[in-house]
Chain A
Amino acid sequence: MTQQEALFKYTLRLGDNALIQGHRLSEWCSKGPILEEDLALTNIALDNIGLAQAFLKYAAAIEGNDKTEDDLAYKRAERQFYNNQITELPIGDFAVTIAKQLLISTFEVQLFTALSKSTDETIAGIAAKGLKESRYHFVHSRDWCFRLGEGTEVSHAKLQQAFNELWPYTGELFEMVEEDNILLVAGIAADLSELHPIWKATVATVLKEATIQMPEDSYMHTGSRNGIHTEHLGHILAEMQYLQRAYPDATW
């Protein structure tokens, strides 16, 4: 793998994570438990989609061939997506969404802090922007963890169950493969193994205050670095890509 190929795949992963996460969160539109949450979750979705656009635009520029970010979002098949599996899992109930948001936004704050110092100027610039946004996402999900964890017996139980079910998908966030190692040497990528203990300590602090038991590390799902996904990604793409598949290059 050349450094150029590594950069393309790495940038795609950054874009895909934001795209799939944003698409999932947008499912809350008009279905939020209260109006303010409807606005909050869709605002976060909008941040994600914006970030996806920025990263995929850069990925398209690296690939060349006059491709655009839309080609990458709408015309790739499931096996060509590299988002972490946790982003594609169904939104579930509100507790599942909040737990998922906490796990992901804590990771993003760490990741974008590291990437904002990347030697690749474009990645550093987008990451600096993403960092400011992901801090708001983190505070949002953290405060909801406190409220649900210390709320009623039902809200506590639902949040606990959500963390238990999502935990096996967190190992993948920190997997490093060939492109990571190539770009790490060049000072472009983040060292995910360094981020892992910081992430875990932050999540542990939030869960403790939310009176939620930290799940134990056991079996961890894997595969997204090679384009292997859960059954859910195909369904997302079927909906998201329908128009461009049925009417290629349609504009309005």
Chain B
Amino acid sequence: MVTPATHSKEEIFGLLATIHDPEIPVVTIQEMGMLRDVILTETGCDVIITPTYTGCPAMGIIEHDILQLLHESGIKEVRVTTSYSPSWTTDWMTAATKEKLKNYGIAAPIHSSCVNWLQPKSLIISCPRCHSSDTALISQFGSTACKALYSCTSCKEPFEYFKCH
């Protein structure tokens, strides 16, 4: 079968790697681990993405951004598919991604193997601003599905923590 694809898989990945997370604009969907695969088809491609949280409202916007970008790049038929398996985990974030989150003011997720989900208050989360580990959990639910609310006892500033998932 001859594939009249105008772009290679790597090129499409390269394009998609420029799409930013609509809710955390300092990181891309690739850095977040939401971009899972690209499958070339005869007339275009299938893009496989996975949600961070099932109800994540950013998914609709991300799908729209993918379609728009690839159409503008001349890829005619694009299908975006959401896959739940394997289930997304914050462990897929690289150290560089976590550093970006921290610089943006969001404490980065701790590796899942170090988290006892039954005892969230036992986690020591450092303040992304003053780096103090003297912080307190306010609520496990914050401004978006993926973040918890903390306050720093040292610099007195509130901050968000990207929950381990």
The reply to whether A48 and B84 form a contact with Cβ atoms under 8 Å apart is no
Interface of B is mostly: loop
The reply to whether B140 and A140 form a contact with Cβ atoms under 8 Å apart is yes
Within 8 A of A (CB), among B29-67: 51, 53-57
Q: Count how many chain A residues have C-beta atoms less than 8 Å from C-beta atoms of the other chain.
A: 28
The reply to whether A36 and B117 form a contact with Cβ atoms under 8 Å apart is no
Least CB distance from A156 to B in Å reads 22
The reply to whether B51 and A50 form a contact with Cβ atoms under 8 Å apart is yes
The reply to whether A50 and B117 form a contact with Cβ atoms under 8 Å apart is no
Give per-residue flags for B87-128: 1 if the beta carbon is below 8 A from chain A beta carbons, else 0: 110000000000000000000000000000110100000000
Contacts of B88 in A (CB 8 A): 129
Contact of A39 among B55, B85, B87, B141 (CB under 8 A): B141
Q: Count how many chain B residues have C-beta atoms less than 8 Å from C-beta atoms of the other chain.
A: 25
Given the complex of chains A and B, what is the CA–CA distance between A130 and B55 in angstroms? 10
The reply to whether B55 and A126 form a contact with Cβ atoms under 8 Å apart is no
Given the complex of chains A and B, what is the CA–CA distance between A126 and B86 in angstroms? 9
Contacts of A132 in B (CB 8 A): 87, 165
A159 at the binding interface (Cβ < 8 Å): no
Contacts of B139 in A (CB 8 A): 36-37, 39-40
Contact of B85 among A48, A124, A139 (CB under 8 A): A124
The reply to whether B141 and A40 form a contact with Cβ atoms under 8 Å apart is yes
The reply to whether A39 and B143 form a contact with Cβ atoms under 8 Å apart is yes
B residues neighboring A (CB under 8 Å): 51, 53-57, 83-88, 117-118, 120, 138-143, 145, 149, 163, 165
The 7 closest A-B pairs by CB, nearest first: A50-B55, A125-B85, A50-B54, A125-B84, A40-B141, A46-B55, A128-B87
